[in-house]
Amino acid sequence: MTSYTHPADVRQWFELQHQASRAQVDVPLVVRRERLLRLGKLLDEHGPVLAAAVQADFGMRSPRLTEVADLFVLRAQLSHTLKNLSKWMKRKRVSTPLFLMPGRGWIERQPLGVVGIISPWNYPIQLALGPAIDALAAGNRVMIKCSELTPHTAAQLAAVVAQFFSTEEMCVVQGDAAIAALVSSLPFDHLVFTGSTAVGRKVAQAAAANLTPTTLELGGKSPCIVDADCDLQDAALKIVHGKLLNAGQTCIAPDYVLLPRGKEAAFADAYRAAVAQLFPYFEGNADYASIISSRHLARLRTMLQQAQTLGAQIEVMEPQPDTPPPPPTSIGDGVARQMAPTLVFGVTQDMQLLQEEIFGPILPVISYERLDDAIAHINAGARPLALYWFGRDDGIRDAVLRQTVSGGVSVNDTLMHITHDNLPFGGVGDSGTGAYHGEHGFLRFSHQKSVFVQSRLSLGAMLYPPYGARFDRIMGLLKRLF
């Protein structure tokens, strides 16, 4: 079903954008704002059609879920960007060292040129257009490569972007991994990739051939620490929301829970009640997304089977009694790919569930005796994209923040740090490099050019050769000043 952009067209479109970026180095505020307003109009006029395309790709995913997780996030980002763009664009004055006075310096914030975006399938609108908002705000041209796993969304996004933007401003490329590899090899001024760590390494290697700087938003095993004194019912509800949004197919979803030993039964009860509150049933529930493909579903089932074989205890959440019947078969295999939420206790490090990012509605629970044990477990693995902590004691919270490193943190909630416009979003180590959102995204896609303006009254010539007694006296004075 995937539509392909011919490789020759990809190269031609890039060349158009490259030439346009060099022909118009200075992109004024009015041009940037107009492009962002056009993008907002695109969302307003075509949001429902895009949401329907996402539904078609998943088989079962409510347009309302896409509204809150993709479109609302983009509208909020656009509003924040338009409100602050003129301030972000201003040259930044900096103080001047004594020995350079009365000269002065500042930083000019300029467009990089052409920004490439390779976006994933799990939030196919937000993670394509979110980086594009920051890149356009910074005055760049943008090329987006959409995932081949969401072909309806890719085709629809390509069509509507072409209605609102010229190819030299922003375009959407469609195709499989070969087209993605081609896009990775182009000499962009910056390249953004969102996806798995394994593919991220390949993208970084391809970009390195052109010395193209990259922002890699990857994944990892994001831990969720439950402290002994937290409100377990409140924590369970927020963990369920973070874990089961998009059926766990979220890069910052809680990947596993670290739970005080002895709380296992209470947590299972609270988790089960929270699942029933948010998703009374699963099969045919449009609010509960399908797993994206049969291959991904088979992988999740294999991981569960392996854990069970190695001794883990599996607790599959059951639908509430008297729930609606499954919808008609015309929906396709989306219903068949709706996997019931599952808790797994007794997990060990030799299980795939603790070795790989899960990306599905399976939540392993690891019991700990002391907080130090939980922290040691986190630090023994790759640094995660997100970390979550639930509790009441600020001292314990701060100890966790000091002693762990992660891309971002939400305290007493999940996912919410990504929605904060003034917080950078990005990974660290295996979970990614670079960050964007808000002014951080604007700066990520800008070149900060240093400018120093010398004064006619400069005394710099006093440090020119030939060196002698006068030079020694001046250097002696400077040494006393610093």
Residue 49 belongs to domain spanning: 7-218+435-447
Please give the C-alpha separations between residue 266 and each of 25, 176, 391, in angstroms, as whole numbers.
Answer: 60, 46, 16
Which pLDDT does position 1 carry in this prediction?
54
The answer to whether residue 324 scores a pLDDT higher than 90 is no
Least confident window among 41-45, 51-55, 99-103: 99-103
Nearest to 115 by CA among 101, 100, 136, 89: 136
What is the band of 3 on the pLDDT scale with cuts at 50, 70, 90? confident
Calculated CA dihedral for residues 15, 19, 25, 30, nearest 10 degrees:
-80
Q: Does residue 478 lie within any of the structural domains?
A: no
Query: What is the domain-level CATH number for residue 375?
Result: 3.40.309.10
Q: Does residue 467 lie within any of the structural domains?
A: no
Q: What does residue 341 show for φ and ψ, rounded to 5 degrees?
A: -60, 145
Q: What is the pLDDT of residues 198-240, one digit of tens each?
A: 999 999 999 999 999 999 999 889 999 999 999 999 999 999 9
Summarize the confidence of residues 273-287 as an average pLDDT. 95
SS (H, E, C) the chain: CCCCCCHHHHHHHHHHHHHHHHHCCCCCHHHHHHHHHHHHHHHHHHHHHHHHHHHHHHCCCCHHHHHHHHHHHHHHHHHHHHHHHHHHHCCEEECCCHHHCCCEEEEEEEECCEEEEECCCCCCCHHHHHHHHHHHHCCCEEEEECCCCCHHHHHHHHHHHHHHCCCCCEEEECCCHHHHHHHHHCCCCEEEEECCHHHHHHHHHHHHCCCCCEEEECCCCCEEEECCCCCHHHHHHHHHHHHHHHHHCCCCCCCEEEEECCCHHHHHHHHHHHHHHHCCCCCCCCCCCCCCCHHHHHHHHHHHHHHHHCCCEEEECCCCCCCCCCCCHHHHHHHHHCCCCEEEECCCCCCHHHHCCCCCCEEEEEEECCHHHHHHHHHHCCCCCEEEEECCCHHHHHHHHHHCCCCEEEECCCCHHHHCCCCCEECCHHHEECEECHHHHHHHCEEEEEEEECCCCCCHHHHCCCCCHHHHHHHHHHHHHC
Same domain, residue pair 240 and 332: yes
Q: Does residue 2 lie within any of the structural domains?
A: no
The answer to whether residue 133 scores a pLDDT higher than 70 is yes
Task: Let me know if 15 is a catalytic residue.
Answer: no
Which pLDDT does position 329 carry in this prediction?
45
Same domain, residue pair 376 and 315: yes
Same domain, residue pair 186 and 49: yes
Of 171, 224, 230, 251, the catalytic one is: 251
Q: Does residue 461 lie within any of the structural domains?
A: no
Least confident window among 106-110, 187-191, 280-284: 280-284
Q: Does residue 429 lie within any of the structural domains?
A: no
Same domain, residue pair 108 and 187: yes
Q: What is the pLDDT of residues 245-265, one digit of tens each?
A: 999 999 999 999 999 999 999
* DSSP-derived secondary structure letter, 174: -
Q: Does residue 477 lie within any of the structural domains?
A: no
Summarize the confidence of residues 64-79 as an average pLDDT. 97
Summarize the confidence of residues 338-345 as an average pLDDT. 98
Same domain, residue pair 111 and 148: yes
Percent of the chain residues past pLDDT 70, beyond the cut: 98
Nearest to 286 by CA among 50, 66, 122: 66
Q: Does residue 475 lie within any of the structural domains?
A: no
Summarize the confidence of residues 68-84 as an average pLDDT. 97
Which pLDDT does position 463 carry in this prediction?
84
The answer to whether residue 332 scores a pLDDT higher than 70 is no
Q: How many domains does the chain have?
A: 2
Task: Let me know if 356 is a catalytic residue.
Answer: no
Q: Does residue 465 lie within any of the structural domains?
A: no
Same domain, residue pair 153 and 242: no
Higher-confidence residue: 321 or 57? 57
Same domain, residue pair 202 and 233: no
Least confident window among 81-90, 295-304, 327-336: 327-336
The answer to whether residue 402 scores a pLDDT higher than 70 is yes
What is the band of 82 on the pLDDT scale with cuts at 50, 70, 90? very high
Largest CA distance in the chain: 96
Of 217, 230, 357, 439, the catalytic one is: 217
Which pLDDT does position 59 carry in this prediction?
94
The CA distance from 175 to 145, in Å, is 8
Which pLDDT does position 141 carry in this prediction?
98
For the chain, give the mean pLDDT: 95
What is the pTM for the complete model shown?
A: 0.94
Nearest to 62 by CA among 327, 299, 341, 271: 327
The CA distance from 115 to 14, in Å, is 10
Nearest to 242 by CA among 256, 228, 231: 256
Look up tokens 């705000």; give the residue.
137
What is the band of 459 on the pLDDT scale with cuts at 50, 70, 90? confident
Same domain, residue pair 82 and 128: yes
Query: What is the domain-level CATH number for residue 25?
Result: 3.40.605.10
Same domain, residue pair 190 and 258: no
Summarize the confidence of residues 74-83 as an average pLDDT. 98
What is the band of 330 on the pLDDT scale with cuts at 50, 70, 90? very low
